[in-house]
Amino acid sequence: MPEPRPRLIIRANYARLAMKFASTDSSRFYLQGFYAQPAQDGGLLLVTTDGHRMSIFHEKCGRLEGKPQIWTFSGPELLSLRATERMLRKTLQGAALESWLDITWPEGEQPTARMFMADAESPEEGALPGTSFPVRVIDGTFPDWERVVYQQGATTKRRLVSHDGAFSARYLRGFVELANDWRPLGVGEGSMALLQWESSDRKDLDPMVPAVIQCRPDMMGILMPIRDDMRWTRGAPTWFVPARFERAAA
C-alpha cells in the first residue's frame, strides 16, 4: 500500500508561534521551519530550533498523514496568516471557533496551507471556507532534538542545579513573547514562567546544561547556555550591600 501524501492540520497560531524560533541562517536551512511529528499521548508535537533555543508545542487536536516533514512559511506569508486570522475573528465575533490550517502536498504540486474556522476541539466540524497560502517543505533531516530534552526515568541520575552558565538575552526574549501571547483566565500581562536547570550528579560533566522553560501549558522551551565570558559575579554584585546590613554593621 503506498504511503499517503503528507497532510497536516494544526491551529494557525501554532504555526505562527513556532516559526518565531526558526533559524534565519541559510547554512542551516534544515532549521528554517517547524518539524511536526506524532505525540505519544495523541496529537502532535511541533518542534522548532535555531540551535540556541527550542520550542516544543503540543497540538493536542492536530492531525498528521504521511511521513513527518519540516514545514516553513516566509516572513510575508506569516504576516498574511496573522492578518487573515484577525480578519476572520473579527468577522465571526462571538463565535466559539478557532483558526486552523489544513496543509496538503498533492502529488506533482506545490504544498498549500488553507486557513479555515472550525470548532476548537474538532477541526472537521463546522468548517468554514477560508483562504489559501503558499507553504514550503524543507528537503533536509531535522536533528535528533530529543537528546537535549530531559526525560523522567533516564538511566543517568539527574537533578535540578544552579550553575555558572550564561544565557543570551536575545534568545530569552522569544520566550517572553510566548508568555505574553497566552492569556489564561485571570492572568494578564507578564504571565509567570518556570525556569529550571538539569544536570547529572557526576562531577566530571560539563556544567553547561540546557534550561527548561515553561510559560504555557501547551509548550516547553529549551534554552542552550553560552560561556560566561563576562565573568558575572555569582549571587549579588560585590557593590551591592542592602541598607539594613549597613545599619547593622554601624
pLDDT at 180: 63
In a domain, 200, yes or no: yes
Q: pLDDT digits over 54-81, tens only? A: 999 999 999 999 999 999 999 888 888 8
DSSP-assigned states of every residue in 116-167: EEEESS-TTSS----EEEE-EEE-S----GGGGS--TT-SS-EE----S-B-
Q: pLDDT digits over 12-50, tens only? A: 989 999 999 999 999 999 999 999 999 988 899 999 999
Same domain, 94 and 175: no
Average pLDDT over the chain, rounded to whole? 76
Same domain, 159 and 185: yes
Which percentage of the chain shows pLDDT scores above 70?
64
Q: Of 157 and 8, which is predicted with more confidence?
A: 8
Show the domain range for 208: 149-223
Question: What DSSP designation does 4 have?
Answer: P
Same domain, 201 and 95: no
Q: pLDDT digits over 138-163, tens only? A: 999 999 888 776 544 444 444 434 34
Question: What DSSP designation does 108 have?
Answer: T
Same domain, 103 and 173: no
* 200-227: average pLDDT: 66
In a domain, 240, yes or no: no
Same domain, 181 and 124: no
Contact 39/45 with Cβ under 8 angstroms? yes
Same domain, 72 and 190: no
Could you say which of 83, 117, 138 is where a domain stops? Answer: 138
pLDDT at 98: 84
What total number of domains does the chain contain? Answer: 2
Residue holding cell 544552579?
Answer: 162
pLDDT at 229: 60
Same domain, 156 and 36: no
Q: Of 221 and 229, which is predicted with more confidence?
A: 221
Same domain, 26 and 116: yes
Residue type, 138: I
Q: Where are the alpha helices (DSSP H) in the chain?
A: 12-18, 75-91, 169-181, 243-249
Same domain, 44 and 112: yes
pLDDT at 154: 46
